[in-house]
Amino acid sequence: MRAIVTGCSGFIGGALLGQLTREPELDVVGVSRVRPAELVVNTRWLPRSLLTQSDTNLGFVSGSVVIHAAGRAHILRERGGEPLAEYRRSNVDETLEIAEHAARCGVQRFIFLSSVKVNGEAAPQCHPFTADDVAKPLDPYGVSKMEAEQGLQELSVRSGMEITIIRPPLVYGPGVKGNFLSMMRWLGRGVPLPLGAIHNLRSLVAIDNLVDLIATCVYRPAAANQTFLVSDGEDLSTTLLLRRLGAALEKPARLVTVPEQLLMLAATVVGKGDVARRLCGSLCVDITKTRQLLGWSPPVSVDEGLRRTAEAFRREAHL
């Protein structure tokens, strides 16, 4: 069976290539706009420009599976007048262009990497998001992912191509960027952080757990035309995450106890209210459906995922 991974030069796509090459029966093809600096052994690379312009044996073949990990990532500080239009161009229009071409070529299953932001921005500890909740995206990124999901589901009805949707929360692992990388830098420098009394709960997913679930969805018949949430199976408060990440870095977290309400007020005053809400708010997901329908459990614990992430960070930062 051929497995085609779009976005293979990215954080998730690159890790997925490594996972899929462990499956000897798969012919793995990575697709990206620019050739990755290092291509995983036993994979082939195809330029994105050729993917939907040719019906040759270069890309899609009947019975193959596509894992669509490409797209415009969530950006915390948007610049420009119409962010939704930009997200739609990458996450909706391009996704559906690729999927339509895949369906015409007889692709059996299209696995779409979506986002928990389709569910919403905050899920209280006592009411975690589930895969079958009504979608309530609140930002342009989440809206674009929801619209892509809807377009794929309509295409499945018309064409018979199976659609599998996976909505991860924050993904971390070796090579992670964004806020998670910033946290490691703070901890590595011993910066005191006013986050010693945060009692929220947030779901995270280690990159190894995410790609293991994606690989599971390649084969399992039960994954057809389903939506799944994914996590490490253990939710952490921001305070506990920093402590355990500090332990993994061998740089104990220097956390200052500041009441949450005071922290939120101070952050709002200096224009960092959104950051504080992410650090203090809860966003939990329920992966019961994923466990039961697929017989899947996260193979990597939170502490092991943090250890692998910290080990890579130490190598790159020479800590």
Residue ranges making up the domain that contains 187: 176-203+233-319
Share of the chain above pLDDT 90, in %: 63
Q: Is the pLDDT of residue 275 over 80?
A: no
Q: Check residue 279 and give its pLDDT.
A: 77
Whether residue 181 sits in one domain with residue 163: no
The domain boundary, picked from 119, 146, 167, lies at 167
In terms of domains, do 59 and 15 share one? yes
- CA 23/CA 215 separation, integer angstroms: 9
Q: Do 72 and 91 share a domain, yes or no? A: yes
Looking up residue 116, the CATH number of its domain turns out to be 3.40.50.720
Whether residue 162 sits in one domain with residue 252: no
pLDDT tens across 247-270, in order? 999 999 999 998 877 777 776 766
Q: Are residues 318 and 195 in the same domain?
A: yes
83 with 140: CB under 8 angstroms? yes
Is the pTM of the predicted complex or chain greater than 0.85? yes
In this prediction, residues 65-90 reach a mean pLDDT of: 80
Average pLDDT, the chain: 89
In a domain, 180, yes or no: yes
HEC profile of 166-234: EECCEEECCCCCHHHHHHHHHHHHCCCECCCCCCCCECEEEHHHHHHHHHHHHHCHHHCCEEEECCCCC
Residue at which a domain ends, from 167, 194, 211:
167
Q: What pLDDT does residue 245 have?
A: 96
Question: Same domain for 185 and 89?
Answer: no
* Active-site residue (options: 87, 141, 172, 219): 141
Region 52-70: mean pLDDT is 79
pLDDT over 80 (residue 132): yes
Residue 216 domain-assigned? no
Q: What whole-number percentage of the chain has pLDDT above 70?
A: 91
Quickly state the pLDDT bin for 22 (edges 50, 70, 90).
confident
Domain boundary among the residues 145, 167, 189 is at 167
Kindly report which listed range (98-107, 125-134, 263-272) carries the lowest average pLDDT score: 263-272
Residue 100 lies in a domain: yes
Would you place residue 205 in the very low, low, confident or very high pLDDT band (cuts 50, 70, 90)? very high
For residues 73 and 289, the model is more confident at: 289
Is the domain of 158 the same as that of 307? no
Do 181 and 125 share a structural domain? no
Q: What total number of domains does the chain contain?
A: 2
CATH of the domain at 303: 3.90.25.10
pLDDT tens column, 157-199? 999 999 999 999 999 999 999 889 999 999 999 999 999 888 8
**82, part of any domain:** yes
Please say if 172 is a catalytic residue: no
CA 159 to chain centre: 27
Inside any domain, residue 217: no
Average pLDDT on 76-90 reads: 76
State the pLDDT at residue 319.
Answer: 59
Q: Which residues contact 144 (CB under 8 A, 6 or more apart)?
A: 72, 84, 87, 88, 90, 91, 92
Instruction: Give a yes or no: residue 221 inside a domain.
Output: no
Looking at the structure, tell me whether residues 15 and 137 fall in a common domain: yes
Mean pLDDT is lowest, of 49-53, 73-77, 169-173, for: 73-77
Does one domain contain both 114 and 253? no
213 falls within a domain = no
Span of 4-8, 27-31, 185-189 with lowest mean pLDDT: 27-31
Say if 208 falls within a structural domain: no
